[in-house]
Structure 1
């Protein structure tokens, strides 16, 4: 079997290069030309006929990334690629998994159908599965959801003395409980009331923190930052130690990352989305999954 070929969509070059090193594959140069009217034209700069292809594109800000991505996938298939898969460390459009108000689109299902129609397989990391039991529920292609818990716990063990994990809401329990168990550390789950896209209320109940622990606020996604900032203020009233914010995906709406840092909390994420906070590598998890799915 020929070695896998990787194609990096713009902005994903560093991760693609590391995956090539880990997998023993090769990187196919890609030129994405943008016309004056904003349309794009991807061009594969190497023959891909007969090869299995992995396109690397983390899908934060998916609106601007999606068309170049599917155009590239279609070109690879038309030019003779044997299989075309997608490595999307962060998978967007997972939040709208039900109609909260009449007339709303079920964007998670529609996006899944579009991805399933363009690719033969999908590898992602901790998608925001809340009311959807698994990716197989909405994706019709093989879709692997990897878990960052082991690498998060490794980072905590190496960097945080006596962690006490705190989840901002019940949705975070699955990640908080898993990492806390791997670190043999205590945890607590708070109660969140969402009053809008950027307005959050957090309640701690009767939570108290021992004096010698380091609070670690853990969630899967940090986007607007409202939940995190509200929880940081609450934790500061319970602990003399500045909290550490640990997230799998640092999506960060405009101004959110700096607003979190301005609270005095440390901020660490995995590298599913490149950025200043991305200190926890998920590369080996992804490389191993790619090797399995391409066998």
Structure 2
């Protein structure tokens, strides 16, 4: 006689409780119970307050800096593995260190690959993330990766606005593929901004590739740190005659 498939349980790291609660409610189950013990030196320890033996476990945690968020995810995965969870999916809406996807100068790390190795070593059997800064990060994992796209929500909304003379803009060369994907669905033009940085978060120059005169422009990007790139790109569009 075949046994029914084990149920799923959804848990959250401390910085992602709100989102995890929404996911659990949509899935039709309560959010799993986890307690977090803290020590005076900053060390912390998660503890599952319910059995997860033989179950499919989803751990929701954005791993944006500080590194505590990534460490919390790793400890949660390790705890689930040691509690005999059957399947552990790391749900990472914001994949931290994704900008370090290659060596762009000597003597620097490839942080995204390191994070992938850490998640694998901790015991994740699958990773679910979205809008990675670089698609090739999926190849850093030995385990399956589900790469989701926010465009499934944004595109129908943008189309419903009925904007005339629409142009999709990427604020840098790295986002050109994303911009072209949006423009193909919306049947619009595309422009690209070419930027050069002096250092992290400091833009030296930015030039526009394409025409925005008399166009309604939508800037598409994957992450915002200081907002400086988007602000600079928006100013450039207005300077070149964009309507909005």
TM-score scaled by length of structure 1: 0.74
The answer to whether the aligner puts 1:149 opposite 2:154 as a matched pair is no
8 Å CA contact 1:3, 1:26 repeated in 2: no
8 Å CA contact 1:150, 1:182 repeated in 2: no
Q: Give, in angstroms, the shift of residue 194 of structure 1.
A: 2.1
Cα distance between partner residues in 1 of 2:162 and 2:68: 37
8 Å CA contact 1:152, 1:179 repeated in 2: no
Cα distance between partner residues in 2 of 1:208 and 1:161: 14
Match of 2:62 among 51, 58, 63: 58
Match of 2:121 among 111, 117, 122: 117
Higher-Rg member (1/2): 2
Cα distance between partner residues in 2 of 1:42 and 1:74: 10
Unaligned runs of 5+ in 1: 243-295
Q: RCO greater where, 1 or 2, for CA within 8 Å and sep 6 or more?
A: 1
CA-atom RMSD in angstroms:
1.9
Count how many residue pairs are aligned between Structure 1 and Structure 2: 237
1:78 corresponds to: 82
TM-score scaled by length of structure 2: 0.89
Match of 2:108 among 104, 109, 113: 104
Q: Give, in angstroms, the shift of residue 17 of structure 1.
A: 1.8
Unaligned runs of 5+ in 2: none
2:237 corresponds to: 235
1:47 corresponds to: 51
Q: Give, in angstroms, the shift of residue 104 of structure 1.
A: 1.8
Match of 1:196 among 174, 178, 199: 199
The answer to whether the aligner puts 1:126 opposite 2:131 as a matched pair is yes
Q: Which 4+ stretches in 1 moved above 4 angstroms?
A: none
Distance 1:89 1:205, change over 3 A: closer
8 Å CA contact 2:81, 2:88 repeated in 1: yes
Cα distance between partner residues in 2 of 1:115 and 1:204: 39
